[in-house]
Amino acid sequence: HLELCVWMVVMVAGCESLTAGTCADQSPKVVSTSQGKVSGILEKSVSGKIFWSYYGIPYAKPPLGQLRLRDPLPAEPWSGIRNGSVEFESQPCLQVPFRVAVEGIKLKPQQLVGTEDCLYLNVFRPTVASFKQLPVMVYIHGGGFLAGGSVEYEPHVLLDHDIVLVVLQYRVGVMGFLSTEDSVIPGNFGLKDQTMAFRWVQNNIHNFGGDPNSVTIFGESAGGASVHHHILSPKSQGLFHRAIMQSGTAISTFGVGTGHRQVAEQVGVSMGCDTSLGSSHLLACLQTLDARNLSATLQNFFEWFISPLAFKPRVDGDFIPAQPAQLLKDRQYKAVDILSGNTHNEGYLVGYPLYIEKNLQESLLNNFSYVGPLSLICCEGSSDPLSITKRVYTYYLGGLNFSFETQKDQIIQMFGEYHLQVPQDFTEVLHYHNDPSKKVFAYELVHRGQLSQGDFFVPLLSNHYVTHGDDLYYLFRGGPFLQPVPSIPGRPYDLQREVDLRVRHFITTMWTNFATYGNPTPDNSLGFIWEPVSENFHHLAITSTPKMISNKRKKSGDFLKTLPTLQNFILFPDKVTSTVIKAV
């Protein structure tokens, strides 16, 4: 151990003069895993701390050929030393990039990005030698279950702290979530990939200085929903110990879907497969097709914006044993401590297309009976989605003759609360009531920093909104979620303002404290205390001066409980009504 410590000190000393980036001239440290050895590279955090990076470690067999649309299998051993000093060309799983999808651009198959051989993860660890294993944080990216990858999530911010960070990627879109609703193509492959990565962490992370008994999984958007699915799934129990859900839960509107068999048959027909011969024949046909051609069929299902999201998790009776709402109601899961929350204006990501695509406005106004429910991804399991949609629009906008110009804030509030914020509130309260021995820490990001996801779309509209995904700028460098980052004159690549860096310090410290201690503010060193959820449902408003505030969405939550949706019939049966609710 003494020789290792001395060697590491020498290595770090030789790297201190480099600017932020890689220390490419240093000899890599080799780590043994259960599949083989992998070399790493030294990099610098945003504050100048040196850390080791190990890129592109396989955690499952490549899902190719007869493994396409099948459950993942453990990675096979390799001989020699695998080069983990490059981001293995940074290939995400095959996809239509999220930014392209939301901008309504339809790509040709050859324009899709990524590769089918994509089940890899990255590991980052401090260089500081320690006899104590460090807490582990495992990140699951978002992207609507149709896009995203590990390259978007740079480690240089979180590695200012003493944690081991793992960033994984998983199958998305057709390859990740197509299902025939039977045992032939059961679906949920993307979630199962994540669980396979968790198993890899349990078996290997001690070799990287991480503590397999202190693993926190965290994710944003579809990644947050994924985290919640793992809390509820019997297949992931015992593989992690704490959970962070950012802007997404299993009961968000995109958390689970229906109609997978019909979607699978539509994909098959579009690709020339005979769907009349049963699931096994369809699988065999789909496994022979060009991967890009098959993945590109996802775009055929976009009808309004990116709705409906045809490739989502499904209740399969196995990985997801029942409706997430039912699992919550029945308390059929192993409780863990939870940190959960939203951004202040989540709905901007859904609302902004209305202000750059006038045809979306026209279709919503002129064909509301069809487009209205699409705009709300409404309503899984409901027999009358149109009446539910009308009630929502009436509550928030006063009816169907609303103004896109004068009711921007209300439109964004509607989309944000319906899709994300109120389901997140419900999730936090349900876990608090279900699991009194565990703590739930709720937050809302209110600070509007210099950088926002809205910058890429309608900057003049977004300059005061804290939109979906803005929390990621405080955890990761650059432009996560919407890669590749377009060049905007005068827009820096990373946070620069002192006030933004202050908020970043708060967030990264609280997130890593939670991963370490199960409490984001174990003492008063940040100047405030984040209290866990209790009966009054206070939550932390994250600003440059964070403070606890009361629930501002109680009225909206009470209204949304009255809608006759499958979820509400399970969770709030005594609240559901069929009457029209008076507008706000």
With CA atoms as reference, report the closest residue to 78 among 38, 122, 118, 121: 38
Q: CA dist 304 to 123, 288, 326, 345, 368, Å?
A: 38, 31, 30, 21, 11
Cβ(456)–Cβ(491) below 8 Å: no
Indicate the helix (H) or strand (E) that contains 440.
Answer: strand 440-445
DSSP one-letter code for 196: H
> Two tokens at 393?
């629009």
CA 316 to chain CA mean position, Å: 21
Q: CA dist 155 to 45, 61, 160, 472, Å?
A: 8, 25, 9, 12
DSSP one-letter code for 463: T
Classify residue 131 as exposed, middle or buried by CB count within 10 Å of its CB (0-12, 13-18, 19+): exposed
Q: Tokens 């866990």: give the residue.
A: 532
Q: CA dist 170 to 52, 72, 83, Å?
A: 23, 10, 21
The three-class DSSP label of residue 168 is strand
> Two tokens at 551?
């629930």
Cα separation, 128 vs 553, whole angstroms: 45
CA 2 to chain CA mean position, Å: 41
Cα separation, 520 vs 306, whole angstroms: 35
Strand order in the sheet with 547-549: 22-23, 41-44, 50-58, 120-126, 164-168, 134-140, 210-220, 242-246, 337-343, 440-445, 539-542, 547-549
Cα separation, 240 vs 236, whole angstroms: 8
Residues near 174 by beta carbon (within 8 Å), at least 6 away in sequence = 267, 294, 295, 297, 298, 311
**What is the DSSP code string of 107-161?**
PPGGG-BSBS---EEEEEEE-S--SSPEEEEEEE--STTT---GGGSBTTTGGGS
Cα separation, 99 vs 483, whole angstroms: 7
With CA atoms as reference, report the closest residue to 314 among 200, 229, 426: 229
Cβ(140)–Cβ(152) below 8 Å: no
Strand 37-39 with 547-549, pairing: unpaired
Cα dihedral across residues 476, 477, 479, 482: positive or negative: negative
Cα separation, 540 vs 550, whole angstroms: 9
Instruction: Return the exposure string of 521-547: e unless at least 16 CB atoms fall within 10 Å of the residue's CB, then b.
Output: beeeeeeeebebbeeebbbbbbbeebe
Q: What are phi and psi of 150, to 5 degrees?
A: -70, -25
- Which residues are marked as active site? 221, 346, 468
